[in-house]
Chains A and B, each alone.
Chain A
Amino acid sequence: MTGPTDRIVRSVEIEAPRERVWRALTDHVEFGAWFRVQLDGPFVPGAATRGRITHPGYEHLTMEVVTRRMEPPRLFSFTWHPYAVDPAVDYSAEPPTLVEFTLEPVPGGTRVTVTESGFDRIPPHRRDEAFRMNSGGWEAQVVNLRTHAQSPR
């Protein structure tokens, strides 16, 4: 069971065949063009892809996704860390959210739906930990390691 704050769902209809939309979503260069990130490699299920945000004003930020499923031309999914915006902070101990893109044919084109879920799994003390990590120091590293060790994944 998930709470009322667990997920975001948004969709858009695009006047193009599914195969075209699939490429725009899953080719890392095309993805980077509209998402505004310069990715260092292709999306490969089970592997991490990193990149630098190219949106003006946010170029100091990086992002990392771990590709989960690539089922052409209908499902592409990855996990990442929500709010992971400070490059000086290690977010790897936190549970990621899951981002899923589904592609359905509709008359005249393709409907793309994005669902981001898993917000409820972010632990209650996260903000405190993030704060300690921001201030640096060993305590943060220890908290981080312990959380990571206890993480179910």
Chain B
Amino acid sequence: MSTSGRTRRAPASPPHGVFAALGDPTRLALVARLSAGGPRSIADLTEGTAITRQAVTKHLRVLAHAGLVRSIKDGRERRFRLDPAPLGQAQRALADLAAQWEDALGRLRRFVERGDPPRTPGEGLG
């Protein structure tokens, strides 16, 4: 495979929302809490933390928007559970970009060691 120039081929579905959602320490902590067990209520999630209900609600909304959290109506209470699929997608997207960097570094090594510019035919660089 690939050959691929590091041309920033986008992965099939670049999960930007996931990257941003996980970039916040409070949300990361919520994800950690949710990954540790079954569905949790907002009360469960605020317990033992300094975070307000409102803040948790807001962060859950961001996580839900990124597809990382789903809410389930449980009687009168709403519970939240983690959906790990987008996390996997995010990791695959990064793995794809990492593979593109590996290709590029391989071309850099060959270029320097062999003095062999891997040029495309017909193009007049330099």
Contacts and interface: CB of A to CB of B under 8 A. Distances in A.
A6 B19 contact: yes
Contact of B120 (A8, A12, A54, A85): A54
Interface string B97-108: 110011011111
Contacts of A30: 111, 126
Interface size of B as a range: 35 or more
B7 interface: yes
B48 interface: no
B20 interface: yes
Contact of A127 (B16, B28, B111, B125): B16
A126 B20 contact: yes
B38 to A, nearest CB: 22
Interface stretch (A41-49, A115-123, A135-143): A115-123
Contacts of A5: 18-19, 22, 87, 90-91, 94
A14 B108 contact: yes
B112 interface: yes
Interface in B13-67: 14, 16-25, 28, 62, 65-66
B101 to A, nearest CB: 5
A3 B19 CA distance: 8
Interface residues of A, number: 50
Given A2-B23, A8-B94, A33 B106 contact: no
Given A32-B125, A34-B107, A122 B8 contact: no
A153 to B, nearest CB: 16
Interface in A58-89: 58, 61, 63, 82-85
Interface string A17-34: 000110011000110111
Given A38-B125, A58-B7, A112 B98 contact: no
A29 B16 CA distance: 32
Interface string A98-114: 00000000000000101
B8 A36 contact: no
Given A12-B102, A36-B120, A85-B9, 16 more contacts: A6-B22, A8-B97, A12-B105, A24-B111, A29-B125, A37-B5, A53-B5, A53-B7, A54-B120, A61-B8, A82-B14, A84-B8, A114-B101, A121-B19, A123-B20, A124-B20
Interface of B: 3-10, 14, 16-25, 28, 62, 65-66, 87, 90-91, 94, 97-98, 101-102, 104-113, 117-120, 123, 125-126
